[in-house]
Amino acid sequence: MFPASCRVVKPSIAGPGGGHIGVASRPGFDQSRIRRRPRSGPESSRVRLRRRARVDDDGPVITDDGAPPPLRSWQQAWRLLAAAALGLVLWVLTAAQVPPGAEGPKVEWLVTGDPLVAVACLVALLWRRRFPVVVAMAVIVVSTASVLAVGAATYALGSLATRRRPVETSVAAVLCVVTSLLTSGLYPRRDLAEPLWLLLSVPVLTVGIVVAVGAAVGARREELRSLRARAESAEREQTARAAEARIMERHRIAREMHDVLAHRVSLVAMQAGVLGHRRDLPAEQVTELARGIADGSHQALEELRDVLGVLRASPEGLEPPQPSVADLPALVTNARGLGLDVTLTASTTGEPPDAIARTVYRIVQEGLTNAGKHAPGARVAVTVEGEAGDGLRVTIRDSGASRAIAGPPSSGFGLLGLAERVELAGGELDHHAEPGGGFVLAARLPWPVREGSE
């Protein structure tokens, strides 16, 4: 590939690369793959530019679908000009070695045919990315008949080496060494022939440098691809975590709103239904029911304000006191005042953890709400028992509706949300209708033994 007479020339690699990353001029970029709306600001612009960058065999270029698009005109031009400049230097040095007054077909070929072959090789390099192996092998073989085409062959070998495929790179490298030996005797020279070791060492060293540089460029591009893939994966994971956090927060808000409002609103609706159904009630009972509706509405509004206040507060703010097992007598008393026949049997030893106690309160609250809506006039028995280490058992059992009235509408998500809450607490929830009438809501919750309690 390199004539031995030109060994004084230090070869320069006009290889692929260039160490720059082009930026697309298109104004938009579809980010539907990460399922989020485009943001604004300098940070989002950098993210979009990073996601639009792609790397192919001839250097960092721009693509959205991963296919290697054509290089821009100036990118093609400087690569081909560099290859032509290297070949031109070798051609001038070879022409300087021709004896003065030499004539013949070889000298004529040096002046006319050699440049034409080099131009054909440079044109063939335009298809090097579509057919990398075919173009590289063809240019290297044709460079046997043209010293000026050695620059194109050097660039073709470096471009092929960036693919980091040992078999094809080794074949191309050996072929380059062989063609360089053939090119060394193509034209007449004034100097005597060099020894064989020198004829071999110069092309072998040159080919080794070209292959090493090409492999290093290819390794760098693989690293860029890996970093880009990791950045995209991290961004997708962050987006997924944010979406999951939003869903969990929505579920938490919905659960709190149901726990706080469903009980109060259901009791208010039940009392209003009694007023509409019983027109023969004494004035005292009508007044009492109306007062209960007003009080229940005010309590529902107060509890709604508490929930909204927690949602609006900062994450570092303290939450209001949460209900526990100690608040069950007040809950039962309130239900009795609204006309439910409720009995409470609590036989617990010690104080359960706050999360478990709050779950017990919500279970009893949901059970009383459902009994008031679906079993008017029924007797309701609430049982809470257990101790540390043995678990906590909660049962709400009603005897069935004693009269049929049109109850308030049901959301259908009360027991579903309660089952999720119990599952999060590590317990089990069971609800079923009794064969003889009535309904049972039962839950078993863990009550771990605290350290130092034994």
Runs of H (alpha helix) within 28-165: 42-52, 73-96, 105-108, 114-124, 132-142, 150-161
The two tokens of residue 432 are 């079923």
pLDDT of 440: 92
SS3 for 54?
Answer: strand
Q: What is the DSSP letter of 34?
A: G
SS3 for 341?
Answer: strand
pLDDT of 374: 81
The answer to whether residues 14 and 86 touch, using CB atoms and an 8 Å cutoff, is yes
pLDDT of 126: 87
pLDDT of 381: 93
What dihedral angle (degrees, nearest 10) is formed by the CA atoms of 185, 188, 191, 193? 30
Strand partners, 391: 387
How many CA atoms are closer than 13 Å to the CA of 203, on its beta-carbon side? 26
The two tokens of residue 423 are 């599952």
pLDDT of 36: 40
Mean pLDDT by 10 residues, the chain (454 residues): 42 38 39 40 41 42 43 78 87 81 80 88 87 89 87 88 88 88 78 73 87 89 89 90 81 71 72 71 77 76 68 54 82 80 88 87 88 83 90 90 59 73 88 87 88 50
Rg (Cα) of the chain, in Å, rounded?
43
What is the C-alpha to C-alpha distance for residues 338 and 370, in angstroms, rounded to an integer? 14
What is the C-alpha to C-alpha distance for residues 310 and 320, in angstroms, rounded to an integer? 8
Neighbouring CB atoms inside 10 A of 441's CB total 23
What is the C-alpha to C-alpha distance for residues 206 and 396, in angstroms, rounded to an integer? 89
The answer to whether residues 354 and 445 touch, using CB atoms and an 8 Å cutoff, is no
Q: Per-residue pLDDT tens for 366-380?
A: 888 888 888 877 889
pLDDT of 445: 92
Side chain identity at residue 137, one-letter code: M
pTM: 0.45
CB within 8 Å of 400: residues ≥ 6 apart: 375, 378, 434, 437, 438, 439
Neighbouring CB atoms inside 10 A of 306's CB total 15
What is the C-alpha to C-alpha distance for residues 269 and 410, in angstroms, rounded to an integer? 11
The answer to whether residues 36 and 239 touch, using CB atoms and an 8 Å cutoff, is yes
Side chain identity at residue 87, one-letter code: G
| Strands (E) located in 329-407 | 341-349, 379-387, 391-398
What angle (nearest 5°) sits at the alpha carbon of residue 54, between those of residues 48 and 58?
150
pLDDT of 192: 64
Segments making up each domain of the chain, as ranges: 4-238, 322-454
End-to-end C-alpha distance for the chain, whole angstroms: 89
What angle (nearest 5°) sits at the alpha carbon of residue 36, between those of residues 32 and 37?
95
Helix (H) or strand (E) holding 235: helix 196-277
Roughly what angle, to the nearest 10 degrees, separates helices 132-142 and 166-184? 10
How many CA atoms are closer than 13 Å to the CA of 372, on its beta-carbon side? 29
Tell me whether residue 247 is exposed, middle or buried, using C-beta atoms within 10 angstroms of its C-beta: 0 to 12, 13 to 18, 19 or more: exposed
pLDDT of 308: 66
Neighbouring CB atoms inside 10 A of 81's CB total 14
The answer to whether residues 320 and 306 touch, using CB atoms and an 8 Å cutoff, is yes
Q: Which CATH architecture has domain 322-454?
A: 2-Layer Sandwich (3.30)
Which one, of 343, 333, 334, lies nearest residue 268 by Cα?
Answer: 334
pLDDT of 23: 35
Side chain identity at residue 326, one-letter code: A
pLDDT of 70: 61
What is the C-alpha to C-alpha distance for residues 122 and 139, in angstroms, rounded to an integer? 9
The answer to whether residues 418 and 363 touch, using CB atoms and an 8 Å cutoff, is yes
